[in-house]
Amino acid sequence: MSGGGGIRESEVVCLLLREVMRHHLIQLAIVVAYVGKLTSRKRRSVGSASTYGKISRMPTQGRHLGRLIGENDIDCISNLRMDRNTFGRLCHILRDRGGLRDGDYVLVEEQVAMFLSVLAHHKKNRVVGFDFWRSGQTISRYVHAVLGAVLRLHETFLSKPEAVRDDCTDARWQWFKGCLGALDGTYVSVLVSNTDKPRYRTRKGEISTNILAVCDRNLQFVYALSGWEGSASDSRILRDALNRPHGLKVPKGNYYLADNGYANCEGFLTPFKGVRYHLKEWGPLAARPQNKEELFNLRHSKARNVIERAFGILKMRWGILRSNTFYPIKSQNRLIMSCFLLNNFIRKEMTVDPVELQFDSMDEPNDGVGADHEEFVQTTESSPQWNAKREELADEMWLQYLNTN
């Protein structure tokens, strides 16, 4: 027993020494890299003010980056929304597969840290430049460089949905065989010219863009379409997404859950209209389902709530999605897409997502119940076949519900 204890103590000491060395090596590597970049360029005059300024700022710049990614995971998550290991893997992917390269005086790690600071806290270039001891021009250049690298890897970051299997035992999804997930739209405030404001004005009077997003059962985004005006209807945006060459693909025989903003048609299953649906209508003091339509709507709402939860986590993670933007509409739409992509990456890489733990989900009522494809859906018109499918599924739910209770 004492031998085992000695081994554990030595391992702890080694780990502590390794962390201390790693922290100092990160700062040393940053300074060495910057000095190497300077010496590789044409030598300037010793008295040059610009050269002196760049060299004198290096230790401060290195210490700031070291505090972000070299001290502890708590600071890294608070400032960059991911732990140190996830940050390191992201930089590695963007460098090797996204085409991101070290600048003359700015390493990839610092470029990514600048970009994440903008997304996480919605800071202006001047504020980020002050934090990182960089000029506003430098911040702008590398924010757009990282943005381009992230968007180039959209196929890597987006999730591939899996249909609900016939042997599914999850009470939330077992009734929706062949379902791929859920979809819905959400609004994000944007900055547009005065002439464009009427088109971007929503029903609530806000200047926003209407984003269509699709997620799977694991809160991973499968597809996102940003750029439509806030006045555009959800069904119109969905029709555009289906008709795009690289748009949303819904294989024949599969479907997504959607609300009544969309038509009940092939590929999209919606609830019954005129029947209570939202989870807040099924509180603990509310009556239990009284007919097959109410039971279907309750179970449909519980399953489709996955997209609402995904939106909540997304906007809690990235502050740029919660307030009025500082950026032109074109840049804003690209930044919105990068938020979706990086949200997927973080959820895949981090075993424990602190943002998800902080997110307060709605209380859900108890209803008393404990392959490759060649053809895709291309229309959003209401279908009698899918109305019959919904009726059949509701009948099956109601019969089982009556036999159980």
Pairing relation of β-strands 255-257 and 179-189?
Answer: parallel
- Give the span between the Cα atoms of 4 and 384, in whole angstroms: 70
Q: Is 162 part of a structural domain of the chain?
A: no
Residue 192 and residue 135 share a domain: no
Task: For residues 354 and 341, give the distance between their C-alpha atoms in angstroms, rounded to a whole number.
Answer: 18
Residue 163 pLDDT greater than 60, yes or no: yes
pLDDT in tens, 258-267: 999 999 999 9
Q: Which of 328, 340, 309, 308 is nearest to 119 (CA)?
A: 340
Q: What is the pLDDT of residue 47?
A: 43
Inside any domain, residue 159: no
Q: Quick one: average pLDDT of 14-28? A: 53
pLDDT tens figures, 198-241: 999 999 899 999 999 999 999 999 999 999 999 999 999 999 99
pLDDT tens across 123-147, in order? 988 999 888 888 889 999 999 999 9
Q: Mean of the pLDDT values across residues 284-294?
A: 77
Amino acid sitting at position 14: C
| pLDDT, position 226 | 94
| Residue 46 burial by Cβ neighbours in a 10 Å radius (0-12, 13-18, 19+) | exposed
Pairs from 191-196 (Cβ < 8 Å, separation ≥ 24): 191/324, 191/325, 191/326, 191/327, 191/328, 191/329, 191/332, 192/329, 196/229, 196/329
Interval 313-344: pLDDT, tens:
999 999 999 988 888 899 999 999 999 999 99
Instruction: Indicate whether 104 and 26 sit together in one domain.
Output: yes
190 and 111 co-located in one domain: no
Residues 210 and 141 grouped into a single domain: no
Q: Which domain holds residue 389?
A: 179-404
Residue 314 domain flag? yes
31/44 Cα distance (integer angstroms): 19
- Report d(CA 107, CA 35) in Å as an integer: 12
Q: Regarding predicted confidence, which is higher, 385 or 312? A: 312
Do 11 and 86 lie in one domain? The reply is yes
Domain annotation covers residue 282: yes
CB 109 within 8 A of CB 132: no
Distance CA 388, CA 100 (A): 52
Q: Which pLDDT does position 376 carry in this prediction? A: 64
Residue 186 has pLDDT above 50, yes or no: yes
Task: Tell me, yes or no, whether 301 and 224 share the same domain.
Answer: yes
Pair 12, 104 in one domain: yes
User: Is residue 57 domain-resident?
Assistant: yes
Same-domain status, 113 and 254: no
Query: Both 132 and 278 in a single domain?
Result: no
Binning pLDDT at 50, 70 and 90, where does residue 4 land? very low
The pLDDT, as a whole number, for residue 70 is: 74
**What was the pLDDT predicted at 314?**
95
The residue ranking higher by pLDDT, 380 or 389, is 389
| Pair 235, 297 in one domain | yes
| Helix (H), strand (E), coil (C) string for the chain | CHHHHHHHHHHHHHHHHHHHHHHHHHHHHHHHHHHHHHHHCCCCCCCCHHHHHHHHHHHHHHHHHHHHHHCCHHHHHHHHCCCHHHHHHHHHHHHHCCCCCCCCCCCHHHHHHHHHHHHHHCCCHHHHHHHHCCCHHHHHHHHHHHHHHHHHCHHHHCCCCCCCCCCCCCCCCCCCCCEEEEEEEEEEECCCCCCCHHHHECCCCCEEEEEEEEECCCCCEEEEEEEEECCCCHHHHHHHHHHCCCCCCCECCCEEECCCCCCCECCEECCCCCCCCCHHHHCCCCCCCCCHHHHHHHHHHHHHHHHHHHHHHHHHHCHHHCCCCCCCHHHHHHHHHHHHHHHHHHHHHCCCCHHHHHCCCCCCCCCCCCCCCCCECCCCCCCHHHHHHHHHHHHHHHHHHHHHC
- If one compares 34 and 114, the residue with the highest pLDDT of the two is 114
- Whether pLDDT at 245 is above 80: yes
Per cent of the chain over pLDDT 70 is 78
Same domain, 147 and 184: no
Q: Would you say residue 106 lies in a domain?
A: yes
pLDDT in tens, 26-82: 555 554 555 455 445 444 444 444 444 555 666 666 677 777 777 788 888 989 999
What is the spatial distance between Cα 261 and Cα 370, in angstroms, rounded to a whole number? 30
Last residue of a domain, one of 101, 117, 152: 152
- Structure token pair of residue 247: 């748009």
Give the span between the Cα atoms of 206 and 21, in whole angstroms. 51
Give the pLDDT confidence score for residue 59 in this predicted structure.
66
Q: pLDDT of 72-112, one tens digit each? A: 888 889 899 999 999 999 999 999 999 999 988 888 999 99
pLDDT for 362: 45
Q: Among 93, 117, 152, where does a domain finish?
A: 152
Weakest mean pLDDT among 146-155, 176-185, 329-338, 385-394 = 385-394
Average pLDDT, the chain: 82
Which of residues 373 and 378 earns the better pLDDT score?
378
Confirm whether 220 is domain-assigned: yes
- Give the sign of the dihedral formed by CA 372, CA 375, CA 377, CA 383: negative
How far, in whole angstroms, is CA 87 from its chain's centroid? 15
In a domain, 161, yes or no: no
Domain-ending residue, one of 152, 170, 197: 152
Mean pLDDT to the nearest integer, 171-184: 94
pLDDT at 369 over 60: no
Return the half-sphere exposure (C-beta side, CA atoms, 13 A cut-off) of residue 239: 12
pLDDT band at 276 (very low <50, low <70, confident <90, very high): confident
Q: How many domains does the chain have?
A: 2
Same domain membership, residue 215 and residue 331:
yes
Question: Model confidence at 351, in pLDDT bands (50, 70, 90)?
Answer: confident
Q: Are 264 and 278 in contact (CB under 8 A)?
A: no
